Amino acid sequence: MGKSIAYIINDSEISAGTRGASLGPGALRVADDNAGNFLFSKYPIHYVVTMNHMLDQPTKYQWGKRADGLATVYKNVAEVVSRERKKNDFIVVIAGDHGSAGGTIAGLKVANPKNRLGVLWVDAHGDLHTPYTTPTGNMHGMPLATALNEDNLESKINDPHPDTIKFWNEMKNTGGITPKINAEDLGFIGLRDLETPEVELMERLGIKNISVYELREVGVRPILQRLDEKYADCDEIYLSFDVDSMDPKLTSHGTGTPVPHGISIEEAGIILRHFAKHPKVKCIEFVEINPCLDEKTNRMAEVAYGLITEVIHVAERKA
């Protein structure tokens, strides 16, 4: 590596519908201890200040639950990611729920404002909702809409509280750059649980999903070649990996919203190794490990730990 590698740990879970994701980073540390590899002692670890104490009180905002706290988390995440990205060639973010990933994107953009940022979202869910379209109000379903500076009023079904919209706009404007990404630079792998407003937004913006079926019908390698072509004009790429992208039968149900028929562990490894080696990939984030829901003890964390280990080993060899 030309410079160095850094870890960022963000155990925020205020935007999920089920508690426990804040324990995911710790579960990974347990997996590392059990493996005896000391992976997390190889490079500096930087921690994000969270607002998880807000979970001890009810939220005032139906269509943007704990939006006030999440707006603060966005700023905190963006500050740490921006700072470390300026100093390092590659960062691995390990987060609780997926809701604060919009802060990660903001931090990458702030670190290099002129860079055209590509995003690959490997997930069972589109995370393209807004307070105007969400069926639940859980904000872990909204981070990409903040990065796109998108309200999706064309698919509006809710009338959010004015304060919700104030905090929502703060999130979209984190770092003072909007939008952070262009729709043509956003790609998905593995989506299989989408609501109508998300589908409508994807159709309107021309955003494509590579389904599990297509991944296997076409083959992982040709799909990766297609994605390399997609991101050819980007200066930098961020990959966000939600563990619910994988098939829970092959991993466990140790995640907030597991969905059947996901990608395999092997497919996940091929995708992650490919992009860890890619010269434009500067950040890979792992999210939504929830050991409280794991019927196989710490299986999800152990699977994710194996994938993170592969990513680090590949990144270390990257010129």
pLDDT digits (tens, 9 = 90+) for 20-72: 999 999 999 999 999 999 999 999 999 999 999 999 999 999 999 999 999 99
User: 174-218 pLDDT, tens per residue?
Assistant: 999 999 999 999 999 999 999 999 999 999 999 999 999 999 999
Tell me the percentage of the chain whose pLDDT exceeds 90.
98
The answer to whether residues 173 and 105 touch, using CB atoms and an 8 Å cutoff, is no
E-strand ranges in the chain read 5-10, 45-47, 90-95, 117-122, 186-189, 209-210, 236-242, 281-287
Tell me the residue length of the chain. 319
Split at pLDDT 50, 70, 90, the class of 90 is very high
Q: How many CA atoms lie within 13 Å of 39's alpha carbon, on the beta-carbon side?
A: 22
Q: Number of H helices and number of E strands within the chain? A: 10, 8
Other C-beta atoms lying within 10 Å of the C-beta of residue 92: 23
C-alpha angle 42/49/146, rounded to 5°? 105
DSSP three-state, residue 97 = coil
Please give the order of strands across the beta sheet that includes 117-122: 45-47, 5-10, 90-95, 281-287, 236-242, 117-122, 186-189, 209-210
Q: Are 107 and 171 in contact (CB under 8 A)?
A: no
| pTM confidence score | 0.98
CATH class of 5-317: alpha beta
- Domain ranges within the chain, ordered by starting residue: 5-317
Q: What is the pLDDT of residues 289-301, one digit of tens each?
A: 999 999 999 999 9
**Confidence class for position 319, pLDDT limits 50, 70, 90:** low
Written as one letter, the residue type at 283 is C
